[in-house]
Amino acid sequence: MSAVVVILLLLAGVSEAAGRIVPLAVRRPGASRTHLISLLVVGGVVEAVVFGLWPLTAWTLADVLLSAPAPDGLLWTPGLVAPLVFTAVLAFPLLGPFLHLLLLVGVAVKLAGPFATATRLDWWTAAGCLAVAGIGLGLAVEAVRRLVVWVSVPRTPEPVT
């Protein structure tokens, strides 16, 4: 991946993470800035990695469907990642999950054409691979988020009666 693509993926990741952290900052006004900034940085890097893994995960699914392995992996290019960055920035911070989902579907539709060409799959199968990969990665990240929140929330001891 080129440096431009990495920067664009990081920008999209930080924007996604900011959209998740802003409600937390509003609900907990006493939260320290260093804690919120560290959450933003770590969340941004994690989101950027997930965005970077999206076509690679879909490529792995396509390899499973093909009888012969596909020739080369589809990597992000600035032209393919730009709509993803636009989606992440547009969805920041809280335009709603449904609109955000529609924007990500639009990015997947734009990515499906080059992905279908690169894998020699028909467009619908390529779009299905991208959808399954995106949903799988999204569910994995959401599970990790919930686990981190569950582990990091302080427990109040039950009163002894």
Contacts of residues 122-131 at CB distance under 8 Å and 24 or more positions apart, as own/partner, are 125/62, 125/65, 126/58, 126/62, 129/58, 129/59, 129/61, 129/62, 129/65, 130/54, 130/55, 130/58
9 to 15, 84, 98, 105, 152: CA distances (angstroms):
10, 8, 22, 17, 27
Kindly report the three-state secondary structure assignment for every residue of 102-157.
HHHHHHHHHHHHHHHHHHCCCHHHHHHHHHHHHHHHHHHHHHHHHHHHHHHCCCCC
Q: Which residues contact 106 (CB under 8 A, 6 or more apart)?
A: 83, 87
| Spatial contact of 87 and 103, defined as CB atoms under 8 Å apart | yes
Of residues 139 and 26, more confidence is placed in 139
Averaged pLDDT, 143-161? 74
pLDDT tens digits, 27-46:
777 777 887 888 888 888 88
Q: What pLDDT sits at residue 124? A: 92
Averaged pLDDT, 124-129? 90
Residue 68 three-state SS: coil
The domain locations on the chain are 3-152
pLDDT tens digits, 60-116:
888 888 766 556 655 666 666 666 666 666 555 555 666 667 777 878 888 888 888
Nearest to 16 by CA among 113, 122, 87: 87
pTM of the model: 0.73
Q: What pLDDT sits at residue 74? A: 59
Please count the other Cβ atoms lying within 10 Å of the Cβ belonging to residue 64: 8
Q: What pLDDT sits at residue 52? A: 82
